[in-house]
Amino acid sequence: MDGSRLKFFSMHNRIKGKSLWVLLICQLAITTWAAGQSTASQGSTVLWYTKPATQWLEALPIGNGRMGGMLFGGIRSEHLQFNDQSLVTGTTQKMGYYQPFGDVFVELDSVGPVRNYRRELNLQNAVHTVQYEANGVRFERIAFASFPDQVQVLHFSANKPGQLTGIIRLSDAHQAPVRIEDDKLMATGTLDNGMTHESQVRVMAKGGHVSVTAAGIRISKATTVTVLLAAGTSFINDESRNFTGLHPHPTLSHRLDKASKRSIEELKSAHTKDYQSLFGRVNLQLGVSGTEAAQPTPDRLAAYAQGKTDPALDALLFQYGRYLLISSSRPGGLPANLQGLWNAETKPAWYSQYTTNINVEMNYWLAEQTNLPECHMPLFDWTENLARVQKKSPDPALKTDKGWIIYSTNNTMGGTSGWHIHRPGSAWLSQHFWEHYAFGGDKTFLKDRAYPLLKAVTEYWVSHLVVGKNGKLITPDGWSPEHGPGRNEKDVSEYPGASYDQQIVYDLFTNYLDAARILGVDKAYCTKIDAMRNQLLGPQIGKWGQLQEWMDDVDDPNDHHRHNSHLFAVHPGRQIQPLTTPDWAKAALVSLKARGDKSVGWSSAWKINLYARLREPGHAYALVQRLVTPRDLKKTGYSDEGGSYPNLFGVGPPFQIDSNFGYTAGVTEMLLQSHAGEIDLLPALPTAWPEGQVSGLRARGGVTVAMRWKKGVLDQAQLRADRTGLFTVRYGQLVKQIRLVAGHPTTVNQALQ
């Protein structure tokens, strides 16, 4: 534990006037406790393996928010399969697929029998490492994707001179020819949609000799070798320019030239400093088993599958979600897609793009909660571009007088799959704009970006709602993704008043009203929206005690569909809460249990969040276990088992990153909630995590929260507000208002004193 984490346990707010011996005892206790966490910390932030990857789902991911790579860690041949998030075959009118970019191979001469092999991914510094011994020589390689330098770096070294001999090759996934230019390997091609793409590789070595040949760049008897990769496309994230920018060649050449002038220490230092400025904000420890740091990840997964408790593995998957979001979503880029930005298939499942009836939204549930608001920004840029593309679309199904609507799945440029209009999709996306303000309090963002979008989508629904047979306002053409009342996957008929639509519109109106009141604008219009919100058909309880999915009471208790769309009001909405709407919450729990636990990974992740909001820690944790449990690599098709692959990617077909992101959000909801106007401490703490501590989580209202608990009971919590004011804090049944002073941490005990 570093010094910044010890600030959580600062005693200055609680020992004024106390005797010196109390201070000394407290400091001793803190030091002892912190020392005991070192093993758990390592086990909670390192994935490691005793052999190379032989399959893609065993390889380990790196990424700089724009460019990603999968590393296999071979002994004689290192394989880096890489992507750029903008390389798609679609347009503003055609869906297309997210594409693999290419591969870099570093093939080394045989070094004889290998001992003590280890490959690892350290989430603390986002560095991939391979180490082994051969013929009395210790070999090491590190790899990372640098955001500051916009390159991927592979560095090979040996503890004796002249031990590295081999060849570096570049290949393009779209058969672009590889050429040699200025001592670099280059591959330049153009997709059918006109998008130009290029990759460049430069190699530097100390000792030995480097030569460029037709087969690649050859190194001979070097002591260290550094491989730099830059890749990019002509895509520009700007709808007004039809997403078409300049040829990437000059930019890539500049990046490589700049990076090649820096030492490996300088490159790594810049990368680590940048990455840790984000990742280091949150620390989570869920207990110490004493063996997790000493066991490779596959062994821990296997033991977990046999029922062994490993809370540090639960924490590892939590931090892995944060690592993956930082690695796949950075300001200026595109949002994380269905696979983040890691993909090796030319026709990946569901295009590996953006599905708006849960998946892309789930990708960002963790952003504000786990202190990564910067990583949220690409979603806002993409949504605003998407709105402009849809408004210009010649498709008559997208025509609206007010606001805008979308199809279920869209690509980087707003092109659509053409499968099923998803009317509430734009409203769900708008929720993220409100949440960014709710957590961070940026009024400029609220005024300039969130409010205009919220109002535009609100205006659409004002014009689209109708009065139903019961006198309530309903959506005339609702949906409950991705099925109808008959549970038929092909039944996507329109049903008036579907709960999914009704709940999202309620959430939209609520967010709009809150935003308008904060800004002090459109008071007359707010009065109208408030009245319409009150007239909306609300949640209904059906004949078997369920929260109805449909306006009519036709729900099937044997419907085990993966979507939990009619529970939006529980999470991520805020209409249904156990403490304020207990009857609805009870009915929601009936519906959730009826859906069952067996489902694809992202659905299980959503259920963690739902059970946490319903204050059901035991069931939430059962789904945590479900997502951590390893799955057979021989079964990579559609699965209703959920779980994790050897590299901890969440199971989908073959994997979907929303499982990872949704898991992290769900664990956060178990530890901290703030959607009901209260900062709710440990609302769904399971018995499986009796001891633990967390710091750096964020609550709505701009409060950073740290907590420590023992024997399942809160020991102490620290609250640090961005603004001075009164905040309502809850622990269990105890609720108190606490005055927080901006920038000054306040520590409370289990009695909130």
The answer to whether residues 228 and 367 belong to one domain is: no
The answer to whether residues 20 and 62 belong to one domain is: no
pLDDT tens track for 351-392? 999 999 999 999 999 999 999 999 999 999 999 999 999 999
- The last residue of one of the domains, among 520, 541, 562, is 541
CA-based end-to-end distance of the chain: 26
pLDDT tens track for 621-632? 999 999 999 998
* Cα separation values, 86 from 81, 172, 439, Å: 16, 15, 29
- Does residue 22 fall inside a structural domain? yes
Q: Which position has the token pair 């997208």?
A: 398
Instruction: Please give the average per-residue pLDDT across 1-13, as a whole number.
Output: 36
Structure tokens at 479: 């949906």
DSSP 8-class letter at 682 = S
Is 599 or 293 the better-scoring residue by pLDDT? 599
pLDDT for 515 equals 98
- The last residue of one of the domains, among 281, 316, 345, is 281
Determine the Cα–Cα distance for residues 113 and 423; give it in Å rounded to an integer: 61
Structure tokens at 212: 């460029």
Q: Which position has the token pair 């939590």?
A: 318
pLDDT tens track for 515-551? 999 999 999 999 999 999 999 999 999 999 999 999 9
The answer to whether residues 339 and 484 belong to one domain is: yes
The answer to whether residues 261 and 407 belong to one domain is: no
Owning domain of residue 719: 3-35+690-749
The answer to whether residues 69 and 217 belong to one domain is: yes
Determine the Cα–Cα distance for residues 310 and 285; give it in Å rounded to an integer: 11
pLDDT for 42 equals 66
Confidence of residue 493 (pLDDT cuts 50, 70, 90): confident
pLDDT for 488 equals 65
- Does residue 256 fall inside a structural domain? yes
The answer to whether residues 17 and 119 belong to one domain is: no
Q: 652 pLDDT exceeds 90?
A: no
- Does residue 139 fall inside a structural domain? yes
Is 214 or 71 the better-scoring residue by pLDDT? 71
Helix 582-595 × helix 601-613 angle, to 10°: 160
The answer to whether residues 93 and 166 belong to one domain is: yes
pLDDT for 639 equals 66
Q: 214 pLDDT exceeds 90?
A: no
pLDDT for 426 equals 98
Classify residue 127 as exposed, middle or buried by CB count within 10 Å of its CB (0-12, 13-18, 19+): buried
Length of the chain: 753
pLDDT tens track for 306-334? 999 999 999 999 999 999 999 999 999 99
> 279 with 124: CB under 8 angstroms?
yes
- Does residue 233 fall inside a structural domain? yes
pLDDT for 641 equals 77
User: Count of domains in the chain?
Assistant: 3
The answer to whether residues 199 and 339 belong to one domain is: no
- Does residue 445 fall inside a structural domain? yes
**Rg (Cα) of the chain, in Å, rounded?**
26
In DSSP terms, 88 is beta-bridged to: 98
Q: What CATH number does the domain containing 82 carry?
A: 2.70.98.50
The answer to whether residues 392 and 267 belong to one domain is: no
pLDDT for 289 equals 60
Q: What CATH number does the domain containing 377 carry?
A: 1.50.10.10
Instruction: Please give the average per-residue pLDDT across 390-404, as a whole number.
Output: 95
pLDDT for 671 equals 98
The answer to whether residues 218 and 82 belong to one domain is: yes
Average per-residue pLDDT for the chain: 92
- Does residue 632 fall inside a structural domain? no
Runs of H (alpha helix) within 92-179:
none
Q: 422 pLDDT exceeds 90?
A: yes
pLDDT tens track for 437-459? 999 999 999 999 999 999 999 99
What percent of the chain is modeled with pLDDT above 70?
Answer: 92
Q: What angle do CA 332, 61, 141 make, to 5 degrees?
A: 115
Q: 2 pLDDT exceeds 90?
A: no
Assess whether the previous peptide bond of 557 is cis (omega < 30° from 0).
Answer: no
Edge-to-edge strand list for the sheet holding 164-172 = 60-63, 67-71, 77-84, 102-108, 164-172, 216-222, 209-213
Determine the Cα–Cα distance for residues 274 and 649; give it in Å rounded to an integer: 24
Of the candidates 84, 79, 26, 17, the residue with the CA atom closest to the CA atom of residue 54: 79
Q: Which position has the token pair 């507000």?
A: 721
The answer to whether residues 200 and 131 belong to one domain is: yes
pLDDT for 454 equals 98
The answer to whether residues 19 and 55 belong to one domain is: no
Residue 206, CB-side half-sphere exposure with 13 Å CA sphere? 13
Confidence of residue 286 (pLDDT cuts 50, 70, 90): very high
- The last residue of one of the domains, among 541, 564, 588, is 541
Provide the 3-class DSSP secondary structure of residue 436.
helix
- Does residue 565 fall inside a structural domain? no
Q: 404 pLDDT exceeds 80?
A: yes
Instruction: Please give the average per-residue pLDDT across 718-727, as a whole number.
Output: 98
pLDDT for 290 equals 64
> What is the residue-wise DSSP string for 237-292?
S-GGGTTB---SHHHHHHHHHHHHTS-HHHHHHHHHHHHHHHHTT-EEE----S-G
> 665 with 282: CB under 8 angstroms?
no
> 564 with 500: CB under 8 angstroms?
no
- Does residue 645 fall inside a structural domain? no
pLDDT for 31 equals 33
Q: 5 pLDDT exceeds 60?
A: no
